[in-house]
Amino acid sequence: MNISNFSLDHAIGLNPMHENFLQADWPAPHNVKTLITTRNGGISAPPYHSLNLGNHVGDQPEHVLRNREIVQNEVPHPIVYLNQTHSNRVVTAAQHIGRTTDADASTDHTGTVACAVMTADCLPVLFCDRAGTTVAAAHAGWRGLANGILQNTLSAMDVPKIEIMAYLGPAIAPDAFEVGKDVFDAFTSTLPEAEQAFQNIGNGKYLADIYMLATLTLRNEGVHMIYGGKHCTVLERETFFSYRRDGQTGRMASMIWLEK
């Protein structure tokens, strides 16, 4: 199969909700719900065509607002978007309804809000516990991932880590993710086994597997129920936005909530 012509019907590790939205394919409790947007189904014009949810990328504000309304119509709770800064800060989503807060992850146990993160190559990670009492969403770019965003999210969930399952949403795949030695050092200095997630291609450059880096981090924290991690936002150009591929582009969102 030519991955550049990947269709929603053949998406690996994702279930199509309908034409433009996906959901995580994992054995989460029935009251845990997810929604992952694609680049399709909105009103934005190129280069943001068409379901851009990012209001920080240069798109017309009224287009972003309408796109967010389209997505909100699919979700029964208010969606809490974050002002993502590649930090390791985690907030309680229910305390930030109606405002945008600097953070890169949020959690919820109230069943009154949807946790969301936006991406266009970075890794979105969705979390829940096996009992269906708490959920979380984290934005794991390489900086946040190296600086502990996943560890902090797990701690904020306040449940035993052995009970937590994680879903790795659409992100840049290893063949497209070229990085420098600074990225290699940032991970291997604290997690030596992370060396296996890098392929040395010479001249101080590496191909990095962000899915493997997240998996190694989660396993090191005691999380072993890990799903997803089968996509490439760069190559699947008809389905996903990609900053590395296009530069000026839109943002998708991955979200999770508890159904009462």
pLDDT-above-90 percentage for the chain: 91
How far is Cα 137 from Cα 153, in angstroms, rounded to an integer? Answer: 8
Over residues 158-180, the mean pLDDT reads 96
Instruction: Please determine, for residue 162, whether its predicted confidence score (pLDDT) is greater than 90.
Output: yes
List the structure tokens of 80: 């809490």
With CA atoms as reference, report the closest residue to 15 among 166, 169, 223, 237: 169
Q: Which residues have CB under 8 Å from 53's CB, separation 6+?
A: 37, 64, 67, 68, 71, 81, 118, 250, 251, 252, 253
CB 48 within 8 Å of CB 57 = yes
Whether 150 has a pLDDT exceeding 80, the answer reads yes
The encoded tokens of residue 181 equal: 């030695």
Mean pLDDT of the chain: 92
Q: Measured between alpha carbons, how far is 57 from 146 in angstroms, rounded to an integer?
A: 25
Assigned fold of 14-173+224-258: CNF1/YfiH-like putative cysteine hydrolases (3.60.140)
170 upstream amide cis, omega within 30 of 0: no
Angle at 255 between CA 252 and CA 256, to 5 degrees: 165
Bridge partners (DSSP) listed for residue 118: 253
Query: Which pLDDT tens digit goes with each residue over 69-119?
Result: 999 999 999 999 999 999 999 999 999 999 999 999 999 999 999 999 999
Q: How confident is the model at residue 18 (pLDDT cuts 50, 70, 90)?
A: low
pLDDT(26) > 80: yes
Give the tens place of pLDDT for each residue, 242-258. 999 999 999 999 999 99
pLDDT for res 260? 79
Residue type, 119: T
Distance CA 172, CA 87 (A): 19
Per-residue confidence at 19, pLDDT binned at 50, 70, 90?
Answer: confident
* Residues 30-41, mean pLDDT to the nearest whole number: 97
Q: How far apart are CA 41 and CA 50, in angstroms?
A: 6
Range with lowest mean pLDDT among 12-21, 124-133, 148-157 = 12-21
Alpha carbons within 13 A on the beta-carbon side of 175: 8
